[in-house]
Amino acid sequence: KCRILRCNSEFVAATEPGGGAVGNDDYCSALRAYSLCTRLTSRACWGDLSYHSAVQGIEDLMIQHRCPQTGPTSRPRPQAPMSRHEGHPALDTCSYNKSFQRREGRLPSFVHCGVFGDPHIRTFQDDFQTCRVHGAWPLIDNNYLYVQATSTPVSKGSNATALTKITIIFKDFKECIDQQIYQAELNNVPAAFSDGSTNGGERRGGNSLKVLGQVPGQSIEIQAAYIGTTVIVRQTGSFLSFSIQIPMEVANTSTEEQDLQLCMGGCPTLERLPFFPSSSALQEARIKCGKELPKEDIYFQACVFDVLATGDINATAAATLALKDARIFIQEKDKLHLLPSLSSKNSPSHMTFFLMLFFVMMFSIL
C-alpha cells in the first residue's frame, strides 16, 4: 500500500522544533531520509497525487538547501508528548477539548466543511461552490489529518461528477494514536479502518480515535477526540458525501506546501461552475427538491443542480443529508442556511445562466 503520508509525517516530525534537525546538515539528512522513504513506496504510490507532489517538493528543497544527494540519513526521533500544564492530569493529553478548555478557559471554536453531490463544497469559511473536479483532490491537508476525495463522471460523456471514493488519514500523533487510514468507496462504506480495527491502536490514548457505524453499509461516524474532530461519511444512491467538524486551531495547522485544500480555499477558479438561480424552466426539479428542502438556500439550489445534471432523484437525499450534518456541526444556527447570493463570490451573469442551463439540460438528456 502507498505509505506516502507516513513518509510526510516522519519528515515533519524530524524537522519540527524538538524533532532533531537543528542545522542545515541535519535538515539535509532528514531530506535524504524522506527521499529514501518515497523511493521505497514508489511502486505502490505511482498513481497518487500526494506522492508526486512530495517527490517534487523534496527535489526543490534539496536544491534550495544545497543538500548533497549522498550522505547520512536520519530517522525521526519519537514525537515528544504534548506539553502538560502544571497540576493538570495527563489524561487531558488525548482529549483536545478538555486540554483546550483548561488552557484557554473556554471550548474551542469549530469550523465545518461539507462535500456532497456533483460535487458541492461548503468551505470552512462558509463559501459555497460547485466544482467540476475530476480525479483525486485533497479536501484537507494539515499536520494532523489528510482527506482526499475522488470524483468520477456520473455517465459516459457527461461533465457532471460525483464523489466515488474518500480516503482519510489520521496521522501518527504522539502518545495517543498510531497512524490510521479510513477508506470508503461507492457501495463500500466500512465501519472500520483499512487494517480492520475500529480505534487508534494500542497506545494508551487509542480510544480517542474510533469508528462508529451509524447505518450499516451507508454511513459511519469517526470521532477523533485527541484533535476534537468528528467526521461523517455517507452513501446516498450513487453519491458519497463527507462532513467534518474540526477546531479552527487544528484546521489552520497547514504549511505553505499544503496550500491546495478544497475545504480551506475551495476549488481552483477554473474548476468552479457558476451557480444558477431559480427559473420556471426548472420547475420539475424545484418541486422534487422542495419536498425535502423547503427553504431555498444553497442546499436547495445544489439539489436542483444535481437533479438536472444527473437525472438522479437520489440527489435530493444527498443534499438533505448534507444539511442534516450541517445542523449537527454548525454551532451558530444563523449561519446554517446560506443564500446563493451570499455564499458565492462569483455570481453568474444572465448569459452564463442560460449557457449553464443549456449544458445541464444536455447532460440530463445524455
Predicted pLDDT at 364: 40
Q: In whole angstroms, what is the distance from residue 355 CA to residue 151 CA?
A: 23
Q: What is the pLDDT of residues 261-286, one digit of tens each?
A: 899 988 888 888 765 544 544 677 78
d(C-alpha 162, C-alpha 316), whole Å: 14
Enumerate residues 6+ apart whose C-beta is below 8 A from 253: 142, 143, 144
Strand partners, 231: 222, 244
* Burial class, 122, CB count within 10 angstroms (exposed 0-12 / middle 13-18 / buried 19+): buried
Grid coordinates representing 223?
A: 470521532
Eight-state DSSP code of residue 78 = P
| pLDDT value of residue 221 | 96
At residue 353, the pLDDT reads 39
Cell numbers representing residue 74 in the block: 536520519
pLDDT at 114: 95
**Per-residue pLDDT, 229:** 97
Sheet with 135-141, side-by-side order of all strands: 135-141, 145-153, 161-170, 180-185
Buried b (16+ CB within 10 A) or exposed e, 89-101: eeebbbbbbbbbe
- Start-end of H helices in the chain: 4-15, 24-40, 42-45, 49-64, 96-104, 248-251, 262-265, 283-290, 298-310, 315-329, 340-343, 350-365
For residue 111, the cross-strand partners are 246
User: Residue 308 to residues 275, 276, 301, 316: CA-CA distances in angstroms?
Assistant: 13, 12, 11, 11
Residue ranges in the chain modelled with pLDDT below 70:
1, 17-23, 74-91, 155-160, 256-258, 274-282, 311, 313-314, 340-366
Strand partners, 147: 140, 168
| Per-residue confidence (pLDDT) for residue 157, from 0 to 100 | 66
Instruction: Determine the pLDDT at residue 103.
Output: 83
C-alpha cell at 77: 526521533
Q: Residue 349: what pLDDT?
A: 38
Which pLDDT score, from 0 to 100, does residue 69 have?
82
Beta carbons within 10 angstroms of residue 262's beta carbon: 25
Return the pLDDT at 122. 93
**Spatial CA neighbour of 360 closest among 116, 121, 130:** 130
Give the separation between CA 187 and CA 327, rounded to whole angstroms: 26
DSSP H/E element including 243: strand 239-247
Q: Please state whether 311 falls in left (phi above 0), alpha (psi between -120 and 50) or beta.
A: left
Q: What is the distance between the alpha carbons of residues 273 and 261, in angstroms, rounded to a whole number?
A: 18
Nearby residues of 343 by Cβ (< 8 Å), 6 or more positions away: 122, 126, 127, 128, 298
pLDDT value of position 236: 84
